Every structure is written in structure tokens, then in C-alpha cells.
Amino acid sequence: MPILAFLRRHVWYIAFSIVILSAPLFTGNIYYLSILAFMATRLMIVLGLNLLMGQAGQISLGHAAFAGIGAYGSAIMTTRWSMDPWLAMLLSAVLAAAVAGLIGVPTLKLKGHYLAMATLGFGEIVYILLVQLKWLTNGTDGIGGIPSLTIGSIDFGNAQMFHWLVWGVALLMLRISLNLVDSRVGRSLRGLHRAEIAAMSLGVNTSFRKVQVLMVSAVFASIAGSFYVHYVHYVSPVSYTIIFSVILVTTVVIGGLGNVWGAVWGSALMILLPEYLKRYNQDYTQLVFGVMLILTMIFLPGGLVSFRTLVAKVRERFRGSRAGPVTGPEPRGGS
Amino acid sequence: MALLRVESVSKHFGGLEALKDVSFSLHEGQVKALIGPNGAGKTTLFNLISGIDRPTSGHVFFRDKDLGRLSPHVASRLGVGRTFQHSKVFDDMSVLDNVKVGRYARGHAGIFSAFLTMPRHRREETAVADASLRTLRRVGLGDRAHESAGNLPVGDRHLLEIARSLASEPTILLLDEPAAGLNNEETAQLAEIVRRVRDDGVTILLVEHDMGFVMDISDEVVVLDYGKKIAEGPPLMIRNDPEVIKAYLGEDL
Ligand SMILES: Nc1ncnc2c1ncn2[C@@H]1O[C@H](COP(=O)(O)OP(=O)(O)OP(=O)(O)O)[C@@H](O)[C@H]1O
Ligand SMILES: [Mg+2]
């Protein structure tokens, strides 16, 4: 039964899709739907960064800027040049990919973490440009009046419709990320992460693959930025600072490197937690993130997605040898 | 014509001359050993042949291609495979996935066909899995396919590196101290595997300190000492060469 085998192989993905896509059927509450929408755009960025960090072992400290390219690209092209939003989204993504390529080619040829440094600088430059190029970006005032997305007569300004659109795209990105992990290219990325010279000697053009995955992650981030601004109809530079880049990297680590589902866990936590903390005191958010990052690295090096291993370990300790070895399979990237 | 020609190759690291004007060649189907005391320049030479490093002067020709000008992944695609003296197994990937990476150069699926898992991609994945498993069985690791590579004992790590490289179907295989850390039984097994690989038509150049193994398995031996070739010939001749004996003074050949 190929259909049964298919269902079994993708059970987690299917279950998650059903749950998330049915959410608007249960609530029309704009606040809740907005949180879910932000979770979707966040997930898009984190998925790309998860591939870059978890698979290829490269760190980008400039992913806020790639999201910023999408956000501002869409904002400027639709409000100032009255361009079609979908075309603007596409062009912004192409621009983000091109910039990622320009940064990646010289830095990823070298071993070590040159990419982290280069993207850190790049993030700073983009932020400064967003603030300073007032004639184009309107400086710190930001750009308002960004139109909603439409397809024919369907208006995605409606929160429920937008939910289906943005989650449809996020789920698609999740799917293709899971597919990538379980492929020739995915394996080559994990290989080059562990022993680059060995991967090269097996025929992997390692710098090409690294640049490629950086470009993919830039496109994911850019698309997320575009969707975001078409939802909130406004953009300003404060959303795209280095702080946001650091939060993105934190999200990947807390969620779990090396497992695509970690991006889902991480994004959910990092969107929901601040919403929850907001009720008490907003100032604590960064602090809580920092503490969580440290706790994760100490107690859960595989990230949230590996909590099963932790649970198993704790249980083993309590039960002693009676429990026997822990054999539950980890949720792998390909499920 | 020779398959591999090392022509007056020198390699300097700053003031250190790791290789001085080394020349030899390798014919199709040969097993050739490269021996010499520690620091003689053996690994350095392997790095030049596999495109990881560039000679300071001289050339390494593989058929008519100058490997000294090519990148490692290009050398691999041309048919140069290698293993490493200091294990470069992909730890915490499965044994099978390690070999699948070795199959990389024989595959075509790019990033977009991976994204979309197109039928062609799925067919290729099945073929890769089959071929990789077959290659693992060739070195006797078939039943460890799904273990984490990091858990393998030293000897099996060498074998995994060999399998990983064989998966790329090399014309020539460079083995850097494959018998290091093996006991006698494992060494004998390794010799058997190397012979089978040779019988399958792969030309082999190997670096090894275990002289029993070298003498047993190789058709010809090249001896390096302080970066210079001091002897070349069949094992029996090398064993009795006064200069070689001097270089290995105190060691039992
Ligand atoms: N990248 C490098 N930079 C500087 N010196 C190097 C480099 N690689 C090798 N050397 C030096 O070149 C010489 C030859 O080293 P090589 O590793 O080729 O020796 P080897 O014959 O493989 O020795 P062993 O039997 O110990 O593996 C040594 O003196 C070594 O220190
Ligand atoms: Mg060596």
C-alpha cells in the first residue's frame, strides 16, 4: 500500500499541517490569528537559518537584514512604484539571493567562521542604509500604507485568509527543507560540516553548496519579510537590527540544530513566550531568551526537538539499570 | 602509458622542503606502496595528488590532466579517491550515510530536485542506497550500516573510509596508513579487502608503516626519506637496499 507508506512516512508533517491549517475554523480572534501569522513568517526565516546552521554548519548574524530586504523591497516597490505585490516579493527575493551570493562567494571559500563576521557587518550596513536613505526608505519614520496581498478577487487582508496563505507557504518551506535534509545535497552539507576536506575529496564542491544554502536561506527570509509587511501594512528599521539577527540564531539553537523540526519548536516558543511575558514585564524578554539559550546549551544541546533524549536520560537515571537502554528513535529530519 | 605520473615534484612549507624533486609513476592495476620514516613527506604527496595542496614545482599528471592545478572535488570526479591518515569519518552520521556521501560524485540530483523530490530524484535515492549498501558489504561493514559512524572502532573507521571512497568508483585509490591501529587479524582482513579492490580494477597507492603488510600486498615500493625518493622497486629489492636500510636504521624491515 504505497498510500499507507506515504502517510506513515509523513505522519508528523501531515498532523502538524492539519492542526495549523484548521486553526481559523476554531477562532476568528484577530489577536490569536496574528500571533500564528507571525509564527509562520518567523518559521520561514528560522527554517532557512536552520538549514544553514544545522546542515552546513555556517552561522549568519545578518538574517534580519535578509528579511529586511524582503520587507523593504516589497514596501518600496508597492507603495512608491505601485508594483504588483507578488512581483515585488519575487524581485526582493532575487535581490536577497544575489546579495547572499555576493557575501557568500568570498567568505565561504575559506574555512572558519568568516561568514558570521561578514554577515554581522552586512546586517549593520543594511540597518544604517534603512535609516539614512530617507528619500527611499523614509528613515526611522518607516513606510506605511503597504497594500494587502490579493489573488484575483481573494483579499488576503482578511486575517483568516492570510492565515491560510502564510501558513500554506510556511508549510511548503517546511516540506522542502525536510526533503532537502534527506537528499544528496543535504548529506553533502552535513558531510562538509563535519569534515570539509573529506567531503571535497568525495567530489563535493563544498564552497558552491555552502553559498547555495546561504542563498536559499536568504530567499526564505526575504519572502518572510514580504509577507510580514503585507500583513501589518507598515515597516520601520527597528524590526531589522542586529538584535533580531541574534534572536533568530537563538531560536535555531533553542529549537534544535540539525533537525528541521527544531525550527518549528523554536519559532513557536520564541513567538509565544514574549507574548506571555508581555503581561508581566516586557523588559525581561531578552533576559529570559539569554537564560533559555544558556540552559539549552547546557542541558539540551540538541535543542527542544531532542527533549525525548533528555526525558529518556532522566528516566534512566531514576530507574537505574532496570529500564535498560533507551531505544526510542529520534524524530529524524525526514519524517 | 602510466595512469599517474609524479614529475619532479617539490613542495615547500616556508623554509621546510617536505618534498624534493620526487618522480615516479603508477600503472593501471598496480598496487604501489609509498613508505618512509615519519615526516618523510608521504601525506604531503597524497595531498598534492588529491588536489588538496599545490606543488611548489613539478607536476602530477593523472592521464593527461594536471592534478596540481585542480580542486579536490574535480580530482575526485576524475577518478582519484583517498582515505585519510587521521580519520575524517563523518561522525554522528550513520555508516550508510557516510558511504552515500561517497556516492555524491556519481549522482546528479541538485537542490531543486531535492526540494521537490521529483520521481527522478527518488529513483536516484534508491539506487544510491543500494549501491552504498553493496559497497559497505564489500568491506564487511554491511551489518553496521545503520549505526552511528562515530561509534565504530578504529579498524572499522579505516574500512568505512575505504568504502566511502570506493562508492565514488575511483580509478585510483590512495590509502594513507590504512593498517594503523589494527591487530594482526584485522590487518590480514584489510590486505584481503585491498586485494579484492585491486582485482576489481582499481589502481592503488598506499602509505603504510606496517612492513609485513606492505611487502605482502604491493607490486612495487617507493621509498621517501626527508622528502627525497631514495629507492623504487619490487618489495624484495627494497627490503635489501642498503640506503633504505640506513634510512630505517634500527627498524626491522
Ligand atoms: N601544512 C603544513 N605546513 C607546514 N609543514 C607541514 C605541513 N604539512 C606537512 N608539513 C611538514 O612536512 C613534513 C612532511 O609531513 P608529512 O605529513 O607529509 O609526513 P609523512 O611522511 O606523512 O609522516 P607520517 O608517517 O608521520 O605520517 C613534516 O616535517 C611536516 O611537519
Ligand atoms: Mg602521514
- Chain A within 8 Å of B105 (Cβ-Cβ)? yes
Residue of A179, A201, A216 to mutate for B, most B C-beta atoms under 10 A = A201
Q: Which of B15, B34, B16 is nearest to B172 (CA)?
A: B34
Q: What is the complex's ipTM, to 2 decimals?
A: 0.91
B227 Cα nearest atom in ligand 1: 14
Q: What is chain B's percent helix, strand, coil content, to nearest 5?
A: 45, 25, 35
From the list B72, B92, B115, the residue facing A180 with the nearest CB is B115
> How many whole angstroms from its chain centre is CA A327?
30
Q: Which residues of A fall within a CB distance of 8 Å from B103?
A: 184
Tell whether ligand 1 has an atom less than 6 A from the beta carbon of residue B16: yes
Q: With a 6 A CB cut-off, is B15 part of the ligand 1 pocket?
A: no
B44 Cβ closer than 6 Å to some ligand 1 atom: yes
Contact call for residues B220 and B233 (beta carbons, < 8 A): yes
Half-sphere exposure of A42 (CA within 13 A, CB side): 27
| Closest Cα in chain A to B107 | A184
Using a CB cutoff of 5 Å, list residues around ligand 2, an ion: B 42-43, 85
Note the pLDDT of residue B50: 95
pLDDT at B251 over 80: no
Q: Which atom of ligand 1 is nearest to the CA of B11?
A: 12
Residues of A whose CB is below 8 A from B101: 187-188, 190-191, 199, 202, 204
Is A18 in a helix, a strand, or coil?
helix
* Ligand 1 neighbourhood includes B43 CB (under 6 angstroms): yes
What pLDDT is attached to residue B250? Answer: 56
B235 neighbors B223 (Cβ within 8 angstroms): no
Under an 8 Å CB criterion, which residues of A touch B? Answer: 176, 179-180, 183-188, 190-191, 194-195, 197-206, 212-213, 216
As a whole number, the mean pLDDT across chain B is 92
Taking the CB of residue A332, how many other CB atoms lie within 10 A of it? 13
The distance from CA A169 to its chain's CA centroid, rounded to whole angstroms, is 12
Q: Kindly list the distances between the CA atom of residue B45 and the CA atoms of A106, B10, B66, B186, in Å, as whole numbers in the listed order.
A: 28, 9, 14, 27
Ligand 1 pocket check for B39: Cβ under 6 Å: yes
- Give the one of B89, B92, B100 whose C-beta lies nearest to A187's C-beta: B100
Write the single-letter amino acid at B97: D
What separation in Å is there between the alpha carbon of B42 and the centre of ligand 2?
A: 5
Residue A202 to residue B165, Cβ atoms within 8 A: yes
CA B186 to chain centre: 18
In the three-class reduction of DSSP (H, G, I as helix; E, B as strand; rest coil), residue A120 is classed as helix
Helix or strand run (H / E) with residue B174: strand B172-176
Runs of H (alpha helix) within B139-183? 154-166
- The residues that bridge with B205 in the sheet, in sequence order, are B32, B174
C-alpha A252, offset from chain centre: 8
CB atoms within 10 A of CB B246: 10
- The residues with which B22 forms a beta bridge, in sequence order, are B9
- β-pairing, B228-233 vs B220-225, is antiparallel
Position B116 confidence tier, pLDDT thresholds 50, 70, 90 = confident
Rounded to whole angstroms, how far apart are CA atoms A151 and A66? 25
Q: Is B118 in the pocket of ligand 1 (CB under 6 A)?
A: no
Predicted confidence (pLDDT) at residue B157 exceeds the cutoff of 80: yes
Q: Do B165 and A176 touch (CB under 8 A)?
A: no
How is residue B157 written as a grid cell?
Answer: 573507521
Instruction: Please identify which residue in the block is written with the cell numbers 542604509.
Output: A129
Q: Which of A272, A334, A266 is nearest to A305 (CA)?
A: A266
SS3 B12: strand
Q: Which chain B residues contact residue A212 at CB under 8 A?
A: 111
Among the bound ligands, name the one nearest to the CA of residue B49.
Answer: 1
Q: How many residues does chain A have?
A: 335
The counts of H helices and E strands in chain A are 15, 4
Matching residue, cell 545535497: A185
User: What is the set of domains in chain B, with CATH numbers?
Assistant: 4-90+153-249 (3.40.50.300)
* Rg, chain A, Cα only: 20
- Grade residue B249 by pLDDT with cuts at 50, 70 and 90: low
Task: Please report, in angstroms and rounded to a whole number, the separation of the first and last CA atoms in chain A.
Answer: 18
Contact call for A200 and B109, based on CB within 8 A:
no
Name the percent of chain B lying above pLDDT 90: 75
Distance in angstroms (rounded) separating the CA atoms of residues B138 and B136: 5
Burial category of A328 from C-beta neighbours within 10 Å (exposed 0-12, middle 13-18, buried 19 and up):
exposed
Q: Which residues contact B203 (CB under 8 A, 6 or more apart)?
A: B3, B4, B26, B27, B28, B29, B30, B31, B171, B172, B173
What pLDDT was estimated at residue A335? 39
Structure-block grid coordinates of residue A132:
539614512
pTM, two decimals, is 0.90
**In degrees rounded to 5, what are phi and psi of residue B8?**
40, 55
Q: From A37, A85, A48, select the one nearest A174 (Cα to Cα).
A: A48
- What does the pLDDT average to over B79-101? 95
Neighbours of B167 (CB within 10 A): 26
Q: Using an 8 Å CB-CB cutoff, list chain A residues near B51.
A: 200
Helices H, strands E: what count in chain B? 10, 10
Cβ contacts from A onto B, under 8 A? 104
Per-residue pLDDT tens digits for A106-142: 888 877 778 999 999 999 999 999 999 989 898 888 8
In a structure prediction context, what are the per-residue pLDDT tens digits for chain A, which is 335 residues long?
577 877 888 889 999 999 999 988 888 788 888 999 999 999 999 999 999 999 999 999 999 999 999 999 999 999 999 899 999 999 999 999 999 999 999 888 877 778 999 999 999 999 999 999 989 898 888 898 899 888 888 888 888 899 999 999 999 999 999 999 999 999 999 999 999 999 999 999 999 999 999 999 999 999 999 999 999 999 999 989 999 999 999 999 989 988 999 999 999 988 888 888 777 766 777 777 788 888 877 777 778 877 777 777 777 777 754 444 444 344 444 43
User: For residue B82, which residues of chain A lie inside 8 Å, CB to CB?
Assistant: 201
Tens digit of pLDDT for each residue in B177-224? 999 988 999 999 999 999 999 999 999 999 999 989 999 999 999 999
Q: Where are the domains of chain A?
A: 2-242
